[in-house]
Chains A and B, each alone.
Chain A
Amino acid sequence: MEFDKELDARGLACPMPIVKTKKALAGMAAGQVLKIVATDAGSVSDMQAFAEATGHQLLSSQTQGHEYIFFVKN
């Protein structure tokens, strides 16, 4: 999937992956896509809740080994 910016949230525990995601999105233009890579298992449901509550689109959420990869549209 195409993306405009990547956020490495590996090794960060709750709530930091979502906190950093919000910060990263704030610096991006509307419609741009942010890729987030996290290792915190809780971030899977957190990212979904964040997207729903703030109106960003969670384009995809995948697990690859010990990593969780998300694509969020601003």
Chain B
Amino acid sequence: MGAGDFPAGLDEMIAKRVDELVAQKLEQQLAQLQPKKGPPSMTIIATKGTLDWAYPPYILASAGAVLGWDVAVFHTFYGLKLLLKDLSQLQVSPLGNPAMPMKMPFGPQWFRDISWNMPNAIPSIVPGFEAVATSLMKKTFKDKGVASIEELRQTCIEADVKLIACQMTVDTFGFDPKEFIPEVSEYCGATSFLAIAQKADVNLFI
């Protein structure tokens, strides 16, 4: 029985109906395949524990949270220091930090504009130089209205940013979880973190 044996018009009707049904079915199947659209998400890996590098992870995390994104910060290696209850120990050093501008946050404007190039010999020989550099940087932040790390971290916590600790480096470097803030949402490893990162829209390594 070939196509030529169908009554006139029936062939057309069937083709049209099949087209409609296929289109419907395809739409259903595509909808099932596509992931549900939620807010954008971001993961940040925080690996540094100095005062200067404490800022980028928390500034970016707060900015993401303000935009309504789902944000998680994975603290590993020295980034674990950012989870300590006591953040006053965070320091910064010009040693081996050739890009760090040392400008004095006091005195007349022409004096403040001078960029002092610290040769590595000075911080490595002069005891207490890190403390000087740290307090100069803290004063610079305060003068320029930059929030403290404590304030930025608190902003992240209030915005439901997930703060995650890397279990392996907690163990390796002997961090005591009792010294971390209670808001650490979980201790996990690289594998479980990557599972989260895979679904995120933005992944940053700091």
A residues with a Cβ closer than 8 A to B are 11-16, 18-19, 22, 39-40, 46, 49-50, 53-54
Contacts and interface: CB of A to CB of B under 8 A. Distances in A.
A25 to B, nearest CB: 10
A19 B68 contact: no
Interface in B141-159: 144-147, 155
Interface of B: 59, 62-63, 66-68, 144-147, 155
A15 B68 contact: no
B147 A18 contact: no
B144 A53 contact: no
B61 to A, nearest CB: 9
For the residues of A in contact with B, the DSSP-based class is: helix
B139 to A, nearest CB: 14
Given A11-B145, A13-B146, A16-B145, A53 B59 contact: no
B67 A13 contact: no
4 closest residue pairs by CB, A with B: A11-B145, A53-B67, A13-B146, A15-B63
B71 to A, nearest CB: 12
Contacts of B63: 14-15, 18, 46
A19 B60 CA distance: 12
20 contacts: A12-B145, A13-B144, A13-B145, A13-B146, A13-B147, A14-B59, A14-B63, A15-B59, A15-B62, A16-B145, A16-B147, A19-B62, A22-B66, A39-B145, A46-B63, A49-B67, A50-B66, A53-B67, A53-B68, A54-B67
A14 B68 CA distance: 17
